[in-house]
Amino acid sequence: MLETIILIGLMFLLIFVGVPICFAFAGVSVAGLLLIGNNPINVIPQGLFGGMNSFTILAIPFFVFAGELMNYGGITRRLVRFSTLLIGRMKASLAQVNIVASMFFGGITGSAVADTSSVGGMLIPAMIEEGYEPDFSVAVTASSSVIGPIIPPSIVMVVYGATVSTSIGAMFLGGIIPGILVGLALMTVVALMAGKQDFPRRTERFSRKEAVEIILAAIFPLGMPLLILGGILSGIFTPSEAGAVSAAYSLAVGAFITRGKIFRAVPHMLLKTAKTTAGILFIMGNAMIISRIFAYLRVQQSLGLFVSTYLDNKILFLIFVNILLLFMGMFMEGSATIILLAPILAPIAASLGIHPVQFGLIMCMNAVIGNATPPVGVCLFIGCGIGRIKLWEGAKKIAPFILAEILVLLMVSYIPALTIALPRAAGLIK
């Protein structure tokens, strides 16, 4: 137990002093090997390779690259226009457009950071110019970007599926209802706030001709999630192959449909994709070493004993898991949290009768909510940078939106049908 406390304390210390999470994991893995002793140095490269050696992980760079292609291909503006058409001229309409656009954008990229950068880069300045307070504009954008990794496709679900060997197709399908519920919850918060505050109302009207043009312009971008889910559910391609198909589809749409100038930006997009993927893979490799160290230290057995002694039913266990993961999400990137804790918590959840797909989505939702929570919420950081406000200003305004997301998280935790009904109907799970 002492060795485990030392390693966890070292991890948080490294993160607090500003060490990137992937290198913090590396430091902990090396320190753990030195702490338990009698381990040859070749354990490190073997562990790194073992953590990365998965065909499923190939989906990650493809989905990241597809998101980059969609962004450079001018997709964001089309989705915003389509969302504006759907929302109409209700009060606080641009804030509602922000949320709806994030739902559509999340169904294309599966990345909260890409959502904040793309949708936020366009809508935060637009909201401020229209009369919204900068902190509110940032809060809406950062909180709605969380929807991205919940509505399929989702990079964090690929990470979870690869880590604990859970069906990624079932995870994708199971994330549809929770993702929509999160979007509706955030829209409800905006509507309630609009009833008490003088938010601006959109006056723009679309003619029938303009409406048809907007719908036609959005058809091809919105076709990607349908293509991915349809291909996986029909058995035409695997989730990894779906990533490659999504990249090819995004390239075709950007080049020939939206006519964005993407070819000249391909080297830059490949570099960003490589950096993002390298960070995730390095975390996964070091997490493999850490998981072996924790296995040697019997952490899973100790946690299992704690659960069986004090948390011997689903309700108490899920309360514990949600509190733990929300706390971890305040300091650690979502994929890192999943890679570190999923191998420990998933077997315990299964022993309590919690379906693997449901528990996977609980972990993924906890992980992505952390993207919007201080002090290390990367989406909140990006949003505050775009809105040119201090972090604490955005954090104060985002609180009601985070509470709404936690409410949906509790629904997902205690109503299994929200996550397993669709995968079961599709025959992906029993």
* Sign of the CA dihedral with 410 first, then 347, 145, and 202 last: negative
Residue 317 pLDDT? 92
Q: What is the DSSP letter of 354?
A: -
Tell me the one-letter amino acid at 189.
V
Residue 259 pLDDT? 64
Structure-token match 């950081």, residue found: 381
Residue 201 phi/psi, 5-degree rounding, is -120, 135
The residue ranking higher by pLDDT, 75 or 193, is 193
Tell me the one-letter amino acid at 300.
Q
Residue 40 pLDDT? 67
Inform me whether the pLDDT recorded for 375 exceeds 90: no
Inform me whether the pLDDT recorded for 365 exceeds 90: yes
Residue 247 pLDDT? 85
CA 373 to chain centre: 13
Task: Quote the crossing angle between the two packed helices 176-196 and 417-425, to the nearest 10°.
Answer: 140
Q: Are 394 and 380 spatial neighbours (Cβ–Cβ below 8 Å)?
A: yes
Q: Please list, in sequence order, all residues whose beta carbon lies within 8 angstroms of the beta carbon of residue 184, skipping any fewer than 6 positions away.
A: none
Out of 33-47, 49-63, 139-153, 353-367, give the one with best mean pLDDT. 353-367
Average pLDDT, the chain: 85
Alpha-carbon distance 312 to 362, whole Å? 19
Alpha-carbon distance 164 to 343, whole Å? 6
Alpha-carbon distance 186 to 199, whole Å? 16
Alpha-carbon distance 258 to 78, whole Å? 9
The mean per-residue pLDDT over the stretch 136-143 comes to 92
CA angle 138, 144, 145 (to 5 degrees): 90
Q: Report pLDDT digits (tens) over 154-185.
A: 888 988 988 888 888 899 999 999 999 999 99
Structure-token match 């850490």, residue found: 290
**pLDDT grade for 51, boundaries at 50, 70 and 90:** confident
Q: Name the nearest CA neighbour of 383 among 142, 131, 38.
A: 142
